Amino acid sequence: MKILVTGGLGFIGSHTVVELQNEGYEVVIIDNLSNSSVEVLDGITAITGTKPYFEKLDLKIKGDVQSFFKKHNDIAGVIHFAASKAVGESVNNPLMYYENNINTLVYVLQEMKQLNSQNFIFSSSCTVYGQADELPITENAPVKLAESPYGNTKQIGEEIIKDTCKVNKNFNSIALRYFNPIGAHPSTKIGELPIGVPQNLVPFITQTAIGMREQLLVFGGDYPTRDGTCIRDYIHVVDLAKAHVVALQRLLSGKNNSNFEFFNLGTGKGSSVLEAIKSFESVWGKKLNYKVVGRRSGDVISAYADTNKVNNVLGWKTKLTLDDAMESAWKWEQKIRNK
Residue 230 contacts ligand UD1 per CB under 6 A: yes
**DSSP for 117-178?**
SEEEEEEEEGGGG-S-SSSSBPTTSPPPPPSSHHHHHHHHHHHHHHHHHHH-TTEEEEEEEE
271 contacts ligand UD1 (rule: CB under 6 A): no
Cβ 129 vs Cβ 137: under 8 Å? yes
Given the rule CB under 6 A, which of 70-78, 261-269, 291-299, 326-334 is the region that contacts ligand UD1? 291-299
**Which of 6, 180, 264, 271 is the binder for ligand UD1 (CB under 6 A)?**
180
Three-state secondary-structure class, residue 250: helix
CA distance readout (Å), 236 to 20, 75, 209, 262: 17, 28, 20, 20
Q: Point out which span in 164-172, 200-208, 244-252, 255-263 binds ligand UD1 (CB under 6 A).
A: 200-208
Amino acid at site 47: I
Count Cα neighbours of 68 within 13 Å in the Cβ-side half-sphere.
28
Q: What SS3 class is residue 331?
A: helix
The residues, any chain, with a CB within 8 Å of residue 268's CB and separated by 6 or more, are: 136, 233, 304, 305, 306, 307, 318
The yes-or-no answer on residue 150 being catalytic is: yes
Q: Supply the minimum distance, in Å, between the C-beta of residue 218 and ligand UD1.
A: 4
**Residue placing its CB nearer to ligand UD1 in the complex, 54 or 234:** 234
Please give the Cα distance from 292 to 237 (Å, whole number): 27
Q: Of 109-138, which residues contact ligand UD1 (CB under 6 A)?
A: 125, 127
Contact string 135-164 vs ligand UD1 (x = CB under 6 A): ----------------x-------------
Using CB under 6 A as the criterion, what x/- string covers residues 203-222 for binding ligand UD1? -x-----------xxxx---
Distance (Å, whole) CA 12 – CA 181 = 8
- Asked if 83 interacts with ligand UD1 (CB under 6 A), we say no
- Rounded least distance, CB 255 to ligand UD1, Å: 28
Going by the DSSP 8-state scheme, the letter that residue 221 receives in this structure is: S
Q: Nearest residue by C-beta to ligand UD1?
A: 230
| Candidate list 87, 184, 190, 274; residue touching ligand UD1; CB under 6 A | 87
**Which residues are known to be catalytic?**
150
Which residues form the interface with ligand UD1 (CB under 6 A)?
Answer: 85, 87, 125, 127, 151, 180, 199-201, 204, 216-219, 230, 232, 273, 296, 298-299
